[in-house]
Chain A
Amino acid sequence: MTHPSDAGPAPVLALKGISKSFGAVRALRDVSLELFPGEVHALAGENGAGKSTLIKTLAGVHRPDAGQVLLDGEPVLFHGPGDARDAGIAVIYQEPTLFPDLSIAENIFMGRQPRRALGRIDHKATHAATAELMKRLGVELDPDRPARGLSIADQQIVEIAKALSFDARVLIMDEPTAALTGSEVARLFGVVRTLREQGAAVLFISHRLEEIFQICQQVTTLRDGAWISSEPVEGMAEDDLVRRMVGRDLDELYPKQDVEPGEVALRVKRLTREGVFTDVSFDVRRGEIVGLAGLVGAGRTEVARAVFGIDRWDAGGVEVGGKALTNGAPSTAMAAGLALVPEDRRAQGLVMDMSIERNIGLTGLRTTVKAGLVDRGAERSRSLDWAVKLHVKYARIADTVNTLSGGNQQKVVLAKWLATGPKVLIVDEPTRGIDVGTKAEVHRLLSELAADGVAVLMISSDLPEILGMADRVLVMHEGRLTAEIPRSEATEESVMAAATGRAAA
């Protein structure tokens, strides 16, 4: 099943028998991989399978416990990310790594700015080169604006631009598309194809399996840190790939059961936050899953934040179970039975230096109390329950969450909020970075919650997910609600039409 190494060109970069452990966790076990010029190679696997660890080993961030990295057939030892970069390897990490205080242009060219005489930086040339990259990616980000405040999607774009600017022989991308919508993904793939034609080797990770079939020629699968297979994509079916990743067949994705909607649980009335969104009104009933769709930057997240009380609203109001919420007070929203799973898990969802147990416990500080003190036993059992229910992969419940893989971190965020037993659950990109298997579980879970009478508002950039799960689809465009489409009429076309501002279907 491996690549025919006697035919065609030699691999630019290869891993041979790599192993890597973190304490008791064996993240990689004897993994081998070959990257060839002119080829896009996919790396697939469940959350925590070891994909990011593999990439960090290639990039010189981690040093392998055993095994070799081969560059042009020669063994190399990277002492740090700088060495890998000098060897022509560009990496996009799973989590954006920008300098918030510096401009986009500086972020892209940090350490390699074009120079003038005496080693001075050529600011003009840096600006021009950045503008050129942005054009290539088809986005209009001002090279001079600081990176602080960029949405996750825009941050990801800057990361992509940075990687492209290297003109690297090897381009490694760890879930670059997780935060992007279709148009940006299409652009990115266009650029990747060009690079491939120019002879670059590309390593690509995504939990959106269709993307693998769209752009990759080879796919390597990992399971529990071990190599499972490497084979050509052509002729493979999605189910085959899933089976290799998960080790079994999967249930149906999007298993939304039909539930008779109950009374209104969440009512948003003419909500306005000046300059961000205007006059947004909608209801979510018990037992209902309402999808909220829109392009990146349409203001969906902002609405969710305001409803939950993170940001203040300027006009309008929110009711949960018939009771009006206080403006800008998440604690009262929580008390009323509202929960919000935020989109940025590292910044908003988790305290990275805290244990899994305490992170899940954080939302229960008010409820798991005995005589005014934290009830540790209750806290632990509550955390364990939910960590198990969501199949979080961890060594010890007292480990800090920053030792978890990206997808497992996302599960902890879900656990943290589901543990509050909410009446109304708002989820913002709940399955970002989650593998197919877990995604199905999350969907089943949301659906069960709905069946139990929870009102769910689901924000997602993954349109099939919305179409599959939602009883109704709300669509936002430039800060306004432009359409409300019942499940029966919701199609890609009708939603897109509303999302792009063309008259709703």
Chain B
Amino acid sequence: MTVTAPNPAPAAEAPESSGTRLVDRVFKMRELAILVVFLVMIGITQAGNSEFLSEQGIKDLLLNATILVLVATGQSLVVITRNVDLSVGSTLGITAFATGDYLHSGGNAVIAILLAVLLGVGLGLVNGLLVSLGQVPALVVTLGTLYIIRGVDSIWVGSRQITAADLPGGFVDFGSGGLSAVPWLALIALGVLIVTAYYLKHFGSGRELYALGSNPEAARLAGIPVRKRILAAYTFCGGLAGLAGAMYLARFGNVDSGTGTGYELTVVSAVVVGGVVFTGGSGSVYGAALGALLLTSINSVLPALGVSSVWVLAINGILLILAIAVDRIVALRVATALKKRNARHA
């Protein structure tokens, strides 16, 4: 009784496929765009200061980015599920100190790193349990745990601090050493990044993280174990924050009760710049990692170009806005172009 078309195939759909492929390519390009911005920035700096890309310079760039890349990778998993973990800075701080404390009392470096990861996992688990079992807004809960972990850290640590002198020489050397210009820490971060990205793309549970971020209600109806997955994402995020804590210690050889304060904003910026959307369901860890690289490099580029530190903060903020604005404008332009092209075809 409804409108019956004599020729069964609806016409309008045919051109979609080539269109979406292009959209796909553009989505991949979004990460590419950040990469290009990054490379241009590095290029300009190198032109202005030939020391910038010396072996030492490259090593510094990579080392600076490493810790943020790790934490941002973990964070993007949580953000993909439409949640957020603001407590990563506190987690990083407390694990860094715990690791240092353990090493100071003569512990083994490998076990120390394992302990750091475990402590992070434990804290991530707490966040995950609160968010998934309590089904309460992640922003509030993790802002709460941010304060709680930081407070407990300060009470426990007091005014103590761990300095490079307290740590085994091998551990500190590991923090700055590497294969010529590529530091060990950067290699570890890269490894984690690649494994995570592969997992997210090729494993069912990885895809389910995207699904439940994209539409939580539908995920429940599709029989996805929503709580379990959210718990897993938080645990992973906590674990990486823990690992980052150990690396922070190795790298800076210097932690106290304030370590990692305010880090959450940096991490969230990196993730956002990297194109991971806060409403969940889209974005990639490669994007987040590039975002982290871009952000930390700005902090190296400006001093290397001799920009007065007075200007750094303002330039930083403006670049951040530019990065997301350009990204957005390009995406919009492409979408309209595609739409018009499709329609003309139809």
Contact = CB atoms under 8 A, between A and B. Distances in A.
Direct touching of A and B (C-beta under 8 Å): yes
B166 interface: no
Contact of B8 (A186, A297, A496): A186
A99 B204 contact: no
A214 B225 CA distance: 39
B225 A82 contact: yes
B20 A98 contact: no
Most buried by B among A59, A99, A479, A496: A99
Contacts of B215: 97-100
A113 B210 CA distance: 14
Contact of A98 (B8, B14, B21, B218): B218
B214 A100 contact: yes
Nearest to A497: B6
Contacts of B208: 110-111
A81 B10 contact: no
B2 A110 contact: no
A499 B5 contact: yes
B211 A110 contact: yes
A183 B223 contact: no
A146 B20 contact: yes
B207 interface: yes
Contacts of B343: 274-276, 479
Interface stretch (A134-142, A217-225, A316-324, A403-411): A134-142
Contact of A500 (B2, B5, B24, B217): B5
Contacts of A146: 20, 23
Contacts of A123: 202
Nearest to A182: B4
Contacts of A181: 2-5
A478 interface: yes
B41 to A, nearest CB: 30
B309 interface: no
B221 A463 contact: no
Nearest to B277: A101
B1 A208 contact: yes
Contacts of B280: 101
B311 interface: no
A93 interface: yes
Given A102-B211, A144-B17, A275 B5 contact: no
Contact of B16 (A100, A138, A145): A145
Contacts of B340: 274-275
A61 B223 CA distance: 10
B151 to A, nearest CB: 35
Given A93-B221, A97-B222, A142-B20, A462 B1 contact: yes
Interface string B1-35: 11111111111111011011101100000000000
A378 B314 CA distance: 51
A70 interface: no
A496 B1 contact: no
A398 interface: no
Interface string B279-316: 01110000000000000000000000000000000000
A479 B346 contact: yes
A296 B8 CA distance: 12
Interface in A59-94: 59, 61, 80-83, 85-86, 91, 93
12 contacts: A61-B221, A99-B218, A99-B219, A100-B214, A100-B215, A115-B204, A140-B10, A145-B23, A274-B340, A461-B3, A463-B4, A478-B12
Given A113-B207, A144-B24, 16 more contacts: A61-B221, A80-B223, A81-B221, A93-B221, A99-B215, A101-B214, A139-B10, A142-B13, A144-B17, A183-B10, A210-B1, A297-B10, A297-B12, A461-B2, A461-B3, A499-B5
The 4 A-B residue pairs whose C-beta atoms are closest, nearest first, are A82-B223, A182-B4, A275-B343, A97-B218
